[in-house]
Structure 1
Amino acid sequence: MKEFHDQNGQPVRLSFQPNQFSLPSRHVLVICRFQDKWLLTSHKIRGLEFPGGKTESGETLEEAARREVFEETGARLQSLHYVGEYEVGGEIPFVKTIFYGVVERIEERETFFETNGPVFISGPLLKARLKDEYSFIMQDDVIATSLLEIKRKFDSKMDI
């Protein structure tokens, strides 16, 4: 288990093993690839980030992941893989499950809800994610460590 503080100073614990926290996961983060590019969304307030959000009533984490990716980017996932989960402490702690999604296709949408829609990033993301246009969520160790884990587990030639 890796422990650190996020950009807001909250304690974070990250694990690549399921069910390591006392709270159940009710949030998802989906690190997406489409045709050798990273698929992010442009959140209207926070900036560039991977799709994600909260589960809805009766929804599984996998269903929430697929729905959030579609709502925020118009992408339909070909595959979805569990990567890990992390707990963010603070006044109201929560657990978020991390998935790796490979996109099959992008569909046109009239609305992307709280985002401005899909953004495609070519090349390495580890350093690029630290730029000002990226969300604070992209800039902490959850993303960096998860990218390394995805490369190790799914595609050793992936340019991260």
Structure 2
Amino acid sequence: MFVQKPKANNIEENYSKCVSIKSTKGNKPTSNSQFYSNHRTLSHFARFAKIYKAWKFYRIQLVKEASEKGLPVCRHLFLHYPEDEYVHTLTYQQFLVGTEILVVPVLDKGKEVVRAYFPEGENCSWKHVWTGKLYSKPGSEAWVEAPIGYPAIFVKDSSKIGDTFLKNLREYNVL
């Protein structure tokens, strides 16, 4: 599922914006770039397949929760931070995966920095997945680097889900 319309000429950028991974050859496979078209794209796809695998344990839990309670896997922040008025002004700029992962996608071509908002709430310190930097001031914003291949992903600090996700990323040699 893409968070914006994919661009036919930049498959690497397209995959960096994917929440889930699905690949089809399309109706003109020889005209369209495929994930295996070159080494760089194949390596990028392989890396994101490992990232996708790293949160499999949580995805299974969230899909079960979705079937039992009707909550989506990817959620707007207001579902868990209804008292934070600022989250009501956000539309598509960022989202939660369950309650433990915060994603701030790059939405503009050529941009490598995003503005992340860290919602108000108890125990709301967020750890940047790629740098380990901790953002512990609820209700604050920060500019975060998000070059292709390193999307702005945060996990709740000291959460078992976040710790397991980070452990899996290290195990799969992504971190």
- Provide the TM-score with structure 1 as the length reference: 0.27
Q: Which has the larger radius of gyration?
A: 2
Specify which structure has the higher proportion of strand. 1
Higher relative contact order (CA 8 A, sep 6+): 1
